[in-house]
Amino acid sequence: MAVLVLVEHAGGRADDVSQQAATLARGYAQAAGEPLQAVLFGPDAGAAAQSMGTLGATAAYVVVHERLTAYAPQAWGRAIAELVETHAPSAVIAPGSERATEAMAHAAAFADLPLAANCVDAVPGDAAAVTRLRWGGSLLEQARVHGRTKLLTAAPHAVEAAAASAPSETVVTEFTPELEDADLVVQVVERAQTDAGGGVSLADARVVVSAGRGAGSAEGFAPVEALAAALGGAVGCSRAVTIAGWRPHTDQVGQTGTKIAPEIYIPCGISGATQHMAGCKGAKRILAINTDPEAPIVANADYAVIGDLHEVLPAITAEIEKARAG
Contact 137, 278 (CB under 8 A): yes
The answer to whether residues 311 and 246 belong to one domain is yes
Residue 220 lies in a domain: yes
In this prediction, residue 192 has a pLDDT band, given cuts at 50, 70 and 90, of confident
Can you give the pLDDT at residue 11?
A: 87
The answer to whether residues 118 and 152 belong to one domain is yes
**Tell me: the pLDDT tens digits for 22-72?**
999 999 999 999 999 999 999 899 999 999 999 999 999 999 999 998 899
The Cα–Cα gap between 108 and 154 comes to 15
Contact 106, 99 (CB under 8 A): no
In this prediction, residue 199 has a pLDDT band, given cuts at 50, 70 and 90, of low
**Tell me: the pLDDT tens digits for 203-219?**
889 999 999 999 999 99
198: pLDDT strictly greater than 60:
no
Residue 195 lies in a domain: no
Residue 73 lies in a domain: yes
**Where residue 23 sits, what CATH number does that domain have?**
3.40.50.620
Q: Quick one: how far is CA 310 from the chain centroid? A: 31
122: pLDDT strictly greater than 70:
yes
Can you give the pLDDT at residue 193?
A: 67
**Tell me: the pLDDT tens digits for 242-281?**
999 999 999 999 988 998 999 999 999 999 998 899 899 8
| Percent of the chain topping pLDDT 90 | 86
The answer to whether residues 91 and 152 belong to one domain is yes
The answer to whether residues 132 and 275 belong to one domain is no
The answer to whether residues 170 and 236 belong to one domain is no
Alpha helices in the chain (DSSP H): 16-32, 45-49, 73-87, 98-111, 222-230, 239-244, 274-280, 296-300, 309-325
The answer to whether residues 164 and 299 belong to one domain is no
Can you give the pLDDT at residue 136?
A: 72
Can you give the pLDDT at residue 322?
A: 92
Which distant-in-sequence residues (6+ apart) come within 8 Å of 268 by Cβ?
209, 210, 211, 212, 214, 215, 224, 288, 289, 290, 309, 312, 313
Q: Which domain holds residue 29?
A: 3-184
Residue 189 lies in a domain: no
Across the chain, what does the average pLDDT equal? 94
Classify residue 307 by burial, with Cβ atoms within 10 Å: 0-12, 13-18, 19+.
Answer: middle
Contact 12, 47 (CB under 8 A): yes
**Tell me: the pLDDT tens digits for 156-185?**
988 999 999 988 899 999 999 999 999 999
Q: Quick one: how far is CA 60 from the chain centroid? A: 22
The answer to whether residues 299 and 174 belong to one domain is no
Residue 192 lies in a domain: no
The answer to whether residues 86 and 219 belong to one domain is no
The answer to whether residues 15 and 150 belong to one domain is yes
DSSP output for 205-263? -SEEEEE-GGG-SSGGGHHHHHHHHHTT-EEEE-HHHHHHTSS-GGGBBSTTSB----S
Q: Which residues is 59 bridged to in the sheet? A: 37, 171
Q: Which residues is 174 bridged to in the sheet? A: 62
Can you give the pLDDT at residue 188?
A: 92
Can you give the pLDDT at residue 21?
A: 98
Can you give the pLDDT at residue 326?
A: 75
Give the end of a domain, one of 127, 152, 184: 184
The answer to whether residues 257 and 170 belong to one domain is no
**Tell me: the pLDDT tens digits for 10-20?**
889 999 999 99
Residue 191 lies in a domain: no
Residue 197 lies in a domain: no
Residue 23 lies in a domain: yes
- Average pLDDT for 89-93: 98
Classify 282 in phi/psi space as left (phi over 0), alpha (psi -120 to 50) or beta: alpha
Q: Describe the strand order of the beta sheet including 150-154 as a list of residue ranges.
A: 139-145, 128-134, 115-123, 150-154, 91-95, 3-7, 36-40, 57-63, 171-175
**Where residue 295 sits, what CATH number does that domain have?**
3.40.50.1220
Total structural domains in the chain?
2
Can you give the pLDDT at residue 203?
A: 85
The answer to whether residues 142 and 107 belong to one domain is yes
Give the end of a domain, one of 184, 218, 234: 184
The answer to whether residues 308 and 268 belong to one domain is yes
**pTM (2 decimals)?**
0.84
Residue 160, amino acid: E
